[in-house]
Structure 1
Amino acid sequence: MLLPVLFALGAASSNALATVLQRKGALGVPRSDKLRAGLMLDLLRRPVWLAGIVAMITAAVCQAVALATGPLTIVQPLFVLELPLTLAIATVVLRARLSRTGWAAAFAVVAGLAVALTAASPEGNRTQVPMDRWIPALAVCAGVIVCLVLAALRRPEGRARAACFGLATAVAYAMTAALMKTSVHTLDDSGVTAFLTTWQTYGFALFGASALFLLENAMQAGPLVASQPAITLGDASVSLALGLTVYSESVRTGWWLLPQLLGVALIVAGVLMLSRLPLARSLTGEDRSTVSAEAP
């Protein structure tokens, strides 16, 4: 299981680097009343922003390899490291400072994930799933996304709206990964033609595009402390459920549930603390001011 873990960590690290580089590129563009097209042209002239795009592509490739070689229940939970990795990289690239509270929260996420995954010891790596498993999974996930979006639209801007959009984003991300897993296996087993003709390829493209759209709405709907935990924890939780029900993966139960719950509690506490940090809000664009140093 070392290979999927390494590629999943590579994907999380690349996503984190992409966030920091794109934020650095955006900070160098003067704010004005330009149309979005003008803003994009300015960004495209900045090598640091383009480097962020390369990092995003690298992350996608790493995630595909990780899903092709390991269980969904291992690969997707590792993406909870993306937030602490983003902040750690920002301290170097943006010359920002992370408070002691921030470092403690990052350590809590890492330690919690290590405890939870060690105790769960996920197993199984099916390559194909019959339609009688896909249909209910797709119906439930699509239905949940629609319900969450409708719930968000009924609420004013604020925490509840952001949390609903965040959870919808998480479900879309998890389904994207589940479909990508089968699609990448098809590419590996049967070649490009089969990859381009299997419905899972277009399914993960559709859910992936929806996730990006929902993510943008989540970030604009309310504070990061409401949307980011919903996205980070929701993606891991829904991916775990899909791995167990769709791909027949397994985790240890019985008394092993106790350390798993302890690990989850550490992750939740760490993500909530990290989401409240000024540096985290600035990196996601919630704080429109320049990234500033935090007090130690």
Structure 2
Amino acid sequence: MICALGAAICFGTASVLQAVAARAAEPGTGSGVDPALLMRALRQWRYLAGLGLDAVGFVLQIIALRHIPIYAVGAALAASLAVTAVVASRLLKVRLSRTEWGAVWVVCAGLLMLGLASGEEGSGTGSLALELGLLVVAGLVLLVGMVAGRLPDGPRALVLGLAAGTGFGVVEVSVRLIDSVWDLRDPALYALLLGGGAAFLLLTSALQRGSVTAATAGLVLGETIGPAVVGVVWLGDRTREGLAWLAILGFVVAIAGSLALARFGEPPEVAEPLPTP
């Protein structure tokens, strides 16, 4: 759980840096899958710093997924929005109201309940059908991104965020299914690479245009609910004896608090454009 929370700190800080960098990058075609936008964002030092934090967070996430249930890790990662809120209040001079500070503490309370109720990770190893299903979902994430590129900015951000969250959810489940990264016949390995790559492309596009609040809310829902269901139904994730109710309550509370803080991935509208190095 400590590793999951460490990953949340890394991801939450990275989202602020990447949102600022994506907004500072020159606009491209507006396509939902825009590799050129990603290349332009990579010229921003803030985006590179965010990627470095993402890399550290991903390592911590893998460690967590190997030891505790997916639903606990997912809720902890969703709580990265609380980290984003605190970091944004410092770096972007965004003031948090009492209600918003309350939402931060609600997230912390939900995670505490989850930590107390979580059991060990399930012993299920999944099936070939599940691994192939993940690969199909990862492909659909790319397809949805292409379609979403033609939508107006409002629904575009939400759909791209949800698709990106689904891609990251594929990564979460794939980590549990992969026995060896050297087994090139494992469909879960390709699902991880395709889902993670697609998620980064879509999230970068979502952060550049439209409501980052909507994109982040979609991201939270996509990367938490689906993987949690897969972990419980197919991989045998369970809670401590008699504490299933506490785990469910903690999960709902943590996600609700995170969604309340979704707007803190977005730089203030009044801020001046940052110069490209």
- TM-score strictly above 0.5: yes
The corresponding residue for 1:206 is 194
Change in 2 beyond 3 A, CA 1:127/1:10 = farther
Post-superposition shift, 1:128? 3.8
Q: Distance in 1 between matches of 2:207 and 2:153?
A: 11
The corresponding residue for 2:228 is 240
The corresponding residue for 1:180 is 175
Return the index of the structure with the highest Cα Rg: 1
Q: What SS does structure 1 have at the residue aligned with 2:126?
A: coil
Q: Distance in 2 between matches of 1:173 and 1:98?
A: 28
Q: Distance in 1 between matches of 2:167 and 2:98?
A: 34
Q: Please show how residues 34-53 of structure 1 align to structure 2 within 5 Å.
A: 43=44, 46=45, 50-53=48-51
Q: TM-score, normalization: structure 2?
A: 0.75
Q: Distance in 1 between matches of 2:130 and 2:124?
A: 13
Q: What SS does structure 1 have at the residue aligned with 2:228?
A: helix
Determine whether 1:266 maps to 2:266. Answer: no
Q: Deviation digits for residues 13-69 of structure 1, max 9, x if unmatched?
A: 112222344566789x7x8789969955852xx4x6544332222112111222233
The corresponding residue for 1:114 is 112
Q: What SS does structure 2 have at the residue aligned with 1:59?
A: helix
Letter in 1 for 2:126: V
Instruction: Answer with 206-215 or 149-158: which moved more.
Output: 149-158
The corresponding residue for 2:211 is 223
List gaps (5 residues or longer) in structure 1.
188-193, 292-296
The corresponding residue for 1:126 is 123
Post-superposition shift, 1:237? 0.6
Q: Distance in 1 between matches of 2:84 and 2:109?
A: 17
Change in 2 beyond 3 A, CA 1:198/1:282 = same
CA contact (8 A) 1:229 1:268 kept: no
Q: Please show how residues 30-179 of structure 1 align to structure 2 within 5 Å.
A: 43=44, 46=45, 50-116=48-114, 118-119=116-117, 121-126=118-123, 128-139=125-136, 141-142=137-138, 145=141, 149=145, 152=148, 155-158=151-154, 160-179=155-174
Letter in 2 for 1:11: A
Change in 2 beyond 3 A, CA 1:282/1:204 = same
Determine whether 1:281 maps to 2:275. Answer: no
Letter in 2 for 1:247: L
Post-superposition shift, 1:70? 3.0
Q: Distance in 1 between matches of 2:142 and 2:47?
A: 33
Q: Distance in 1 between matches of 2:120 and 2:215?
A: 30
Change in 2 beyond 3 A, CA 1:209/1:166 = same
RMSD: 3.8
Q: What SS does structure 2 have at the residue aligned with 1:247?
A: coil
Letter in 2 for 1:238: G
The corresponding residue for 2:33 is none
Change in 2 beyond 3 A, CA 1:104/1:51 = same
Instruction: Answer with 48-57 or 17-26: which moved more.
Output: 17-26
CA contact (8 A) 2:139 2:195 kept: no
CA contact (8 A) 1:282 1:290 kept: no
Change in 2 beyond 3 A, CA 1:197/1:133 = closer
CA contact (8 A) 2:5 2:76 kept: yes
CA contact (8 A) 1:151 1:161 kept: no
CA contact (8 A) 1:24 1:94 kept: no
Runs of 4+ in 1 over 6 A off after TM superposition: 24-27, 31-38, 252-255
Task: Write 1 or 2 for the structure with the bigger share of helix.
Answer: 1
CA contact (8 A) 1:151 1:164 kept: no
List gaps (5 residues or longer) in structure 2.
29-35
Change in 2 beyond 3 A, CA 1:290/1:195 = farther
Q: Deviation digits for residues 159-208 of structure 1, max 9, x if unmatched?
A: x333332222222111111112333x425xxxxxx355644323201110
CA contact (8 A) 2:119 2:238 kept: yes
Which structure has more relative contact order (CA 8 Å, sep 6+)? It is 2
